[in-house]
Amino acid sequence: MPDINIQVFTNSHPICHELGKRERIQLISSGGTLERKYGCYVNPSLISQLKSLEIDLFIFSCEGIDSSGALWDSNAINADYKSMLLKRAAQSLLLIDKSKFNRSGEARIGHLDEVTHIISDERQVATSLVTA
């Protein structure tokens, strides 16, 4: 990502590490306990704090999309976090690879109907999901 004047809020440890090198990006981390398995910070009290945020664009991924269009994640805390941000965002961008189609996970994030944009390595499947 270029060093541009934007504000980024994330719970991702790798994103914090990478964007922390860019001086013009205002980086805000959710804080909390680092879940090394997922590379993210977990903070259960954060969900209530998110209700006041105005979010232009929410960029996220998920564990899977099932055949009904439900979006799934690997744990309940991350799913709650993503669900709240998806609801608060003016636009959302789902980044997903073909291995995640027709899969579910432990906790539901929301539904594909709530997503405004998808980027995938499987264009045909992604297009059919968006137009379904």
Contact 40, 13 (CB under 8 A): yes
The answer to whether residues 73 and 120 belong to one domain is: yes
Q: Are residues 85 and 30 in the same domain?
A: no
Helix or strand or coil: residue 2? coil
Check: CB of residue 55 under 8 Å from CB of residue 49.
no
- Beta-carbon contacts of residue 47 (< 8 Å; ≥ 6 apart): 80, 81, 84
In a domain, 48, yes or no: no
pLDDT digits (tens, 9 = 90+) for 58-68: 999 999 999 99
3-state secondary structure of 94: strand
Model pLDDT, residue 113 = 94
Q: What is the CATH number of the domain that holds 75?
A: 3.40.50.1360
Per-residue pLDDT, 2: 85
Position 114 scores a pLDDT of 96
CA–CA gap between residue 109 and residue 132 (Å, rounded)? 19
pTM of the model: 0.82
Question: Could you tell me the residue range of the domain that residue 112 belongs to?
Answer: 53-132
In a domain, 105, yes or no: yes
pLDDT less than 70: residues of the chain: 123-132
| pLDDT score at 126 | 59
Same domain (yes/no): 63, 34: no
* pLDDT at position 107: 97
Residue 98 lies in a domain: yes
Q: Are 19 and 1 in contact (CB under 8 A)?
A: yes
Kindly state whether residues 75 and 38 are assigned to the same domain: no
Please state the domain count of the chain.
2
User: Is 87 within a domain?
Assistant: yes
